[in-house]
Chain A
């Protein structure tokens, strides 16, 4: 080799020795980008991290010995592309779901139990206020419960009308009930997700939403008890209410965590803290959607089929025990 040909350049030899590995990695990455990790054979999959590490070390060597700009840019982008592939989310749906139900969700709720407690308190205060307020002056009912969601249970409704709502649906077909349940589920979930997302705006809108939900419950209870139907109304609402109200409080709690981590960042920066807690409460929101799905099944089917007050109360108590056990015990490391 003569003095000035490529062979003398250290960076040239460096490239010659490693080029093949880079190209192999590039081929794998291109295929992953096209159709996901599933496209690779087991062998190729096992080679991916090896080639990735190799290319990373090539990049750091190249940064210190090579001045070939094209080579550096190529390595930078190749590493970046493979970084995206290697560190992309790889949760398997089924496995992920099982771990979510068994661990992530209840653990996350326990971690944020103070937020859950706050949210539940806001809800309770809301319903107590409405209960006391409506009993003192029935005229307030319309202000607490928007006419669009009264469904015939307005101030002018007679005791008979109210009773009929509590015990209707006996003759409905399964199709109609499923329809009803699906609408309940989607509507409630959308409200829940909204009250979670609104927590971003410094907790306040979330608090208002949770409080308003409480108002509706309190006002309706007051209306029914003024007709002497208070107990039966509670028996009507609690079988699904335990789950549904629980879920809505969880959404609210998740929203509170968001807002709180923005307002009171502690030893982190606000952004870091928000990101940390935001990812943590994502599981609460998803778990809330699942709970609402169960609640809609209870509300859509069970409540229509079962008219007996003791049975309704029994189911309500059972769901309460179930959730209490689930959130206190599930996923603990013992």
Chain B
């Protein structure tokens, strides 16, 4: 079993890299996808608009002869064709599976089988947009018909078509649209995490503080017996880690106190003994982690505390 792969949540996807290590990615949510897509559409529209502005300025500047207008028209037909069909393809190829919108939202295209994302996969996943987006949008905006169907009942088929492809990505737990299905890709959130200092590491201090700390340590070291350390498991350890990492932002500092008391009761620490809460928790964390890691090395993973 892999440490952090809590696959209870539906939207995680395991990917086996070619190096043979399993990574867990968070599947991008439908709202991420829609936001990214709308952003891209905005980029397309705005760049088209800017082009038209520049071109019409140029035409009036050049005198607007028939030849100029024709050249402009030819150019714009080709430009819009390339924007429509190759904007997504070229950007995803250049930016490692992200378009402008995907970068803004923080999502990426990766391969479902763990290999590299090939140019072919990027091409095919984006050509399928024709089916999923441009065809329905043509039906909605221009009143065109799906495959030239005309007839009394054709609207029913058209509406069914739209609905099927709109809800398609919502059906599977991997949120694959048709293009992803065909290309063998999946869209995931870019993972983000920061490396925080190890709690088992003493912070950098001035010499004075170190001296003081040493004296203090000598005084207030808590020694735990093995029986005391065999009570809690990994889950509890990591809850404690979380708590200690957030100790400066806690809304109610009394929580630490309460946790400390609870631990002491559980491991049978003499109640009469006065302890310094933070130091006690710190040292307990270290001792507990050391013990659990040691057991883990001997193949004994202890997930939870004894009941």
- What residues on A are CB-neighbors of B25 within 8 Å? 80
In the complex, identify which listed stretch (B204-212, B236-244, B254-262) lies at the interface while the others stay far away.
Answer: B236-244
Alpha-carbon separation in the docked complex, A88 to B131 (Å): 26
B228 to chain A, nearest CB (A): 13
B73 contacts A65, C-beta separation under 8 Å: no
B182 to chain A, nearest CB (A): 3
B202 contacts A286, C-beta separation under 8 Å: no
A84 contacts B234, C-beta separation under 8 Å: no
- How many A-B contacts at CB < 8 Å in the complex? 237
B182 contacts A275, C-beta separation under 8 Å: yes
- What residues on B are CB-neighbors of A271 within 8 Å? 181
Q: Per-residue CB proximity of A1-37 to B under 8 Å, as 1/0? A: 0111110111110010001001100100000110010
A193 contacts B92, C-beta separation under 8 Å: no
- What residues on A are CB-neighbors of B111 within 8 Å? 87
Tell whether B230 is near chain A: CB-to-CB under 8 Å.
Answer: no
- What residues on A are CB-neighbors of B93 within 8 Å? 89, 91
B198 contacts A175, C-beta separation under 8 Å: no
Partner of B201, one of A8, A12, A78: A12
A11 contacts B293, C-beta separation under 8 Å: yes
Partner of B191, one of A60, A80, A88, A279: A80
Task: Enumerate A74-97 residues with CB–CB distance to B below 8 Å.
Answer: 74, 76-81, 83-85, 87-91, 96
- What residues on B are CB-neighbors of A64 within 8 Å? 296-297
- What residues on A are CB-neighbors of B95 within 8 Å? 36
Alpha-carbon separation in the docked complex, A87 to B113 (Å): 12
B70 contacts A175, C-beta separation under 8 Å: yes
- What residues on A are CB-neighbors of B175 within 8 Å? none
Partner of B4, one of A69, A96, A212, A280: A69
B70 contacts A179, C-beta separation under 8 Å: yes
Give the residue among A3, A10, A200 with the most B Cβ atoms within 10 A: A200
A181 nearest CB neighbor, chain B only: B74
**Known interface pairs A67-B296, A285-B123; A276-B184 also in contact (CB < 8 Å):** yes
B24 nearest CB neighbor, chain A only: A76
Task: Enumerate A87-143 residues with CB–CB distance to B below 8 Å.
Answer: 87-91, 96, 104
- What residues on B are CB-neighbors of A178 within 8 Å? 70-71, 74
Q: Per-residue CB proximity of B85-129 to A under 8 Å, as 1/0? A: 100000011111100000000001011110111111111100110
Partner of A193, one of B108, B127, B294: B127
- What residues on B are CB-neighbors of A12 within 8 Å? 198, 200-201
Tell whether B283 is near chain A: CB-to-CB under 8 Å.
Answer: yes
Tell whether A71 is near chain B: CB-to-CB under 8 Å.
Answer: yes
- What residues on A are CB-neighbors of B116 within 8 Å? 87-90
Q: Per-residue CB proximity of A189-204 to B under 8 Å, as 1/0? A: 1100110111011000
Q: How many residues of A contact B (CB 8 A)?
A: 89
Task: Enumerate A30-78 residues with CB–CB distance to B below 8 Å.
Answer: 32-33, 36, 53, 56, 59-60, 63-74, 76-78
Interface of B is mostly: helix
Tell whether A297 is near chain B: CB-to-CB under 8 Å.
Answer: no
In the complex, identify which listed stretch (B31-39, B51-59, B263-271, B284-292) lies at the interface while the others stay far away.
Answer: B284-292
- What residues on A are CB-neighbors of B112 within 8 Å? 275
Partner of A76, one of B4, B81, B135: B4
- What residues on B are CB-neighbors of A66 within 8 Å? 293
A66 nearest CB neighbor, chain B only: B293
**Known interface pairs A36-B96, A89-B92, A89-B119; A200-B200 also in contact (CB < 8 Å):** no
B144 to chain A, nearest CB (A): 11
Tell whether B28 is near chain A: CB-to-CB under 8 Å.
Answer: no
- What residues on A are CB-neighbors of B18 within 8 Å? 87
A259 to chain B, nearest CB (A): 11
B98 to chain A, nearest CB (A): 9
A268 to chain B, nearest CB (A): 11
**Known interface pairs A146-B148, A279-B183; A73-B193 also in contact (CB < 8 Å):** yes
Tell whether B78 is near chain A: CB-to-CB under 8 Å.
Answer: yes
Partner of B2, one of A63, A175, A209: A63
B58 to chain A, nearest CB (A): 15
- What residues on A are CB-neighbors of B201 within 8 Å? 6, 12
Partner of A282, one of B3, B123, B178, B192: B123
B97 contacts A6, C-beta separation under 8 Å: no
**Known interface pairs A10-B297, A89-B117, A189-B85; A285-B70 also in contact (CB < 8 Å):** no
- What residues on B are CB-neighbors of A185 within 8 Å? 78, 81
Partner of B78, one of A36, A186, A274: A186
Tell whether A183 is near chain B: CB-to-CB under 8 Å.
Answer: yes
- What residues on B are CB-neighbors of A169 within 8 Å? none
Alpha-carbon separation in the docked complex, A198 to B108 (Å): 26
B123 contacts A286, C-beta separation under 8 Å: yes
Partner of A200, one of B94, B115, B131: B131
Tell whether B171 is near chain A: CB-to-CB under 8 Å.
Answer: no
Give the residue among B95, B117, B195 with the most A Cβ atoms within 10 A: B195
B176 to chain A, nearest CB (A): 9
- What residues on B are CB-neighbors of A19 within 8 Å? 195
Tell whether B247 is near chain A: CB-to-CB under 8 Å.
Answer: no
- What residues on B are CB-neighbors of A80 within 8 Å? 23-25, 191
B119 contacts A23, C-beta separation under 8 Å: no
Tell whether A283 is near chain B: CB-to-CB under 8 Å.
Answer: yes
Tell whether A182 is near chain B: CB-to-CB under 8 Å.
Answer: yes
19 additional A-B residue pairs with CB within 8 Å, beyond A2-B221, A53-B19, A56-B21: A2-B217, A5-B202, A6-B286, A9-B290, A32-B96, A76-B4, A80-B24, A83-B110, A85-B96, A87-B111, A89-B122, A175-B71, A178-B74, A179-B74, A193-B85, A275-B181, A279-B121, A279-B124, A282-B124
21 A-B pairs (CB sep. < 8 Å): A9-B289, A9-B290, A10-B293, A33-B96, A63-B4, A67-B237, A67-B293, A73-B4, A77-B191, A85-B96, A88-B116, A178-B71, A183-B77, A190-B81, A193-B130, A197-B128, A201-B131, A278-B182, A279-B120, A283-B120, A285-B124
